[in-house]
Amino acid sequence: MGSELRRVGELIHDHRKRARYTLHQLSALSGVPKGTISKIERGETKHPELDTVLALSSPLSISYEDVVNHYVVMEKRKNILHHMLLEAVRVSDMNIIAKVADRFLECDGVDSYDLVEELYNITGSVTDEMIKLGLFELLAKYAREHGIQPFVAKALFQKYLIERNDFSKLDLTFQAGTYLLLYVNFLSEEEKVLLHFKLGFHAYALQLYEKCIHLCTYITKENDSDRLTKARALLLICNSYYYLGEYFMAEQYLCECKKYPFSEIQENIKLNEAAIQGKKGNKDLAISQLTICLDQSSPNNAIHIINELLELYLQSKDIDAIEQLIGDETRILNADYHTPFKKSELALYYKLKASYLILKKRFEDAIDCYIKSAVYYSEIRAYSDSNECFYLVFKLLSNETVNVSVTAQLKEAYNMLRKL
């Protein structure tokens, strides 16, 4: 009779005595026969069923964690541990889940590769993102220690897909994603394409345009890439060349994008063509094309077009055009800015608006816009852009013709940045 069996029996026995229940009373409360309870308490039942132990634990007020801690040490049957794992996931206690998952990977008579694959599939069906993340971390560690490289790659890939959604850690998760490229040959072709696209977009959000081009070029050369993903990759490359100031290359990739009839791609082609015209000095043509794009754009795309127009209007200090453009800010401010790229556009909008306010000699409002821009840039870890905004604030304050007090605004910005 093993000590593990005694521990489960002792757990039931000790709590029953503490509750002052007879075997008959506990049987009536739990629905478990008195003889079965007696055998479990004496350690005579070789493998007491988990459902039986749980049925006894309820009237005895034994926590699920206590049951698992006592039960899991003696259990190596895969079907039972599978059931325990699903129950632990339902309870949402990561400590319990980790214990059961570790034990699941030690099941008797089952190949380690098969156990890892099954746990990977179980994890994929979990809806709680934090639990899923914890299980993928556990899987990656176990697979690495046991030389099961395909599941090191798969678990790390899934971990990256979850972590990249935390926009406050974009730089850190990008490093983790690029590390994953060391294992890329263990992924399926579909997973390879998805990883390169996600990393490419990630690099683009961090303004790492050369890396974005490199990562997305892989997708454009893969025959297995679906056409929409390939079109999006081409557009990312085009945009990256645009922000690098290489407008000829941007136009070349824009021509490639035209081969894809997807509406989202076609809408961006028109916008990019207009923006490139502006950079090439064809300001009037660019403004005309951008105005058409703005009339046809969705609310979420409007801010990018508005920023392009603002830059052109600011070049010629066309106050009237600017005021007409930003007269109704609700179209801009009520849009959804949850992605890093969208937040960067909102930050740029406030920075450009500050330039307009300076032309109007509304210095206090301009400083307010610079501070808002700095905060939005900081939220996506664009610290160089954020620092530039603060530099522009202090440059403005150093001008003897400007006489404003911004102590409260700077203090508020400081407190907001401390929370990031």
The tens digit of pLDDT for each residue in 106-158 reads: 888 889 999 999 999 999 999 999 999 999 999 999 999 999 999 999 999 99
Q: How is residue 97 written in tokens?
A: 């889940």
Question: Is the model's pLDDT at 363 over the cut of 70?
Answer: yes
Contact (CB, 8 A) for 238 and 250: yes
Backbone angles phi, psi at 364, to 5 degrees: -65, -40
- Nearest-10 crossing angle of helices 50-57, 64-71: 140
Q: What is the pLDDT of residue 3?
A: 47
CA distances from 7 to 1, 73, 278, 378 (A): 11, 10, 77, 54
Q: What is the mean pLDDT of residues 371-388?
A: 88
Q: What is the pLDDT of residue 407?
A: 61
**For the chain, what is the largest distance between any 2 Cα atoms, rounded to a whole number of angstroms?**
94
Question: Is the model's pLDDT at 185 over the cut of 70?
Answer: yes
CB atoms closer than 10 angstroms to residue 211: 18
Contact (CB, 8 A) for 316 and 354: no
pTM for the model: 0.80
Q: What is the pLDDT of residue 6?
A: 56
The tens digit of pLDDT for each residue in 15-66 reads: 999 999 999 999 999 999 999 999 988 888 777 887 888 899 889 998 888 8
Q: What is the pLDDT of residue 204?
A: 93
Structural domains of the chain in order of their starting residue, each with its CATH number: 1-74 (1.10.260.40), 337-420 (no CATH)
Q: What is the pLDDT of residue 2?
A: 45
CA distances from 169 to 162, 176, 285 (A): 12, 11, 40
Q: What is the mean pLDDT of residues 188-205?
A: 94
CA atoms in the 13 A half-sphere facing the CB of 303 = 23
